[in-house]
Chain A
């Protein structure tokens, strides 16, 4: 055994980490090498000396103070993951709107400042006027689409019944993407059941608004994109929503947490890959690094494992 190797093993031996099978060889070397015997004594002395800076138990006051502070912080957090509550609220709201017939019936004519978007008319300038109805079906009740029958009551001893139902009236609304009502329609469409294309279109428009810096600070649009990015059943919609969240990754911890959750949990590799890309401005954050470490080891997709490892290897502070 050479001295260089022996000295590495001496440090391990002093700390009880030398494998049993390596001890005899080290002992034989120490029996014939004065320099390494002195090395062993030096490391043992160091081992003892380091205890002169002892570990102290936290005082009872410190422990109590710390526990109290943590309890106060936990008490102010929502009882449930805010993402889950947000998703529940949004999906419940969409259900109340009965968005399937709404999505099928409402055609949106939107003013967009440049760029093509298949299936919709374009305007050259962003419309500043309030949204206005441009078309609606006539008020013939018998031809109106029935959305929901909520009660049927037959009058006693009679052929007469009273039926309560909801009526859906197709409407075309034209307005600016900045118009609050247009926004609310887009938000409702983002949670629409059944039609992937409607959700894809609305999420795409909302995401484009956020990337262009138009009125996405806090509020329902950012929340809707987070819910869509996490819970929409279409990977294409989830990716569009992720793209819309990119401008906020550095400033908004909720967005960062949502994207981390997506990276850990999304079933689609393309979505997870995009999440890594979205996280790059904040890759030095400790919680981001922790998730990247986990993904680099545990993700089922080798490309994603490699991508995570590449991001980690480029961080200057990793030793």
Chain B
């Protein structure tokens, strides 16, 4: 709390320390959600610049983590909505230089006993799962990401998304139903 107050009073060192406490997690979330290092960097940049700009408005009404993640999730939702409206093909991962990471490439594995066929299957499945995730609405995707992949409680997710725990529960249920519909062939 003292660190936050110092940052609010203008201490750049205090703000930098705050950033270091959270930025890897933010980047991890953005990277998994967007599948793009470039987009993840943009979300990270914009989130912490907004946090810097609006830090004076934080009045300890919730945890700083929740407050920060409200900013992050808003930016992620904006990204998901823009992507959905552009109808981009998102079943392919890209690295920071914009090159596609080909999930179908047969990566040579030097480990003894490695099974290339199984590796290929695994990558294909990952691609299918990502495509299924892309069929969710932005809000369903966000709730599922925060619950399944980031392990947050639905109550916390509700606070971050400015909604109730009950709504978050319903959204999670809808998301799991949709994913099952698209992934039945995995059973």
A: residues with CB less than 8 A from B are: 8, 11-12, 15, 17, 42-43, 45-47, 49-50, 52-58, 62-63, 65-67, 69-71, 73-74, 77, 79-81, 257, 261, 264-265, 286-287, 289-290, 293, 297-298, 317, 319
Contact = CB atoms under 8 A, between A and B. Distances in A.
Contact of B28 (A55, A74, A81, A297): A55
Query: For the complex, would chain B's binding face be called helix, strand, loop or mixed by DSSP majority?
Result: helix
A65 B41 contact: yes
A49 B44 contact: no
Contacts of A62: 27, 31, 37, 40-41, 96
B148 A15 contact: yes
A70 B53 contact: no
14 contacts: A11-B172, A15-B154, A15-B172, A43-B180, A50-B148, A50-B149, A55-B150, A56-B31, A58-B27, A62-B40, A66-B23, A73-B45, A257-B53, A298-B61
Nearest to A71: B16
A9 B154 CA distance: 14
A70 B74 CA distance: 19
Nearest to A62: B37
A225 B15 CA distance: 30
Q: How large is the interface on B (under 10, 10 to 19, 20 to 34, 35 or more residues)?
A: 35 or more
Interface in B169-183: 169-170, 172-173, 176-177, 179-180, 183
Given A66-B41, A74-B52, A257-B53, A52 B23 contact: no
A12 B61 contact: no
A55 B32 contact: yes
Given A42-B187, A71-B16, 19 more contacts: A8-B169, A11-B172, A45-B187, A46-B179, A50-B129, A50-B179, A53-B130, A58-B24, A58-B27, A62-B41, A65-B96, A66-B44, A73-B49, A77-B52, A80-B10, A265-B57, A287-B54, A290-B74, A319-B138
Contacts of A73: 45, 49
Contact of B176 (A11, A74, A80, A286): A11
Contact of B56 (A66, A69, A70, A81): A81
B14 interface: no
A14 to B, nearest CB: 8
A258 B156 CA distance: 30
A275 to B, nearest CB: 14
A289 B74 contact: yes
B78 interface: yes
Contacts of A45: 186-187
Contacts of B57: 261, 264-265
Interface centre among A49, A53, A257, A265 (most CB of B within 10 A): A53
A268 to B, nearest CB: 18
Binding site secondary structure of chain A: helix
Contact of A52 (B19, B54, B70, B129): B129
A45 B125 CA distance: 14
Contact of B71 (A52, A63, A290): A290
Contacts of B27: 58, 62-63, 66
Given A11-B176, A58-B24, A293 B162 contact: yes
A70 B176 contact: no
Contacts of B32: 55-56
Interface in B127-165: 129-130, 133, 137-139, 147-150, 153-154, 162
Contacts of A298: 61
Contacts of A43: 176, 180
A80 to B, nearest CB: 6
- Residue from A56, A58, A62, A297 with most neighbouring chain B CB atoms (10 Å): A58
B129 A53 contact: yes
B12 A15 contact: no
Contacts of B120: none
A69 B53 contact: no
A46 B180 contact: yes
A319 B24 CA distance: 29
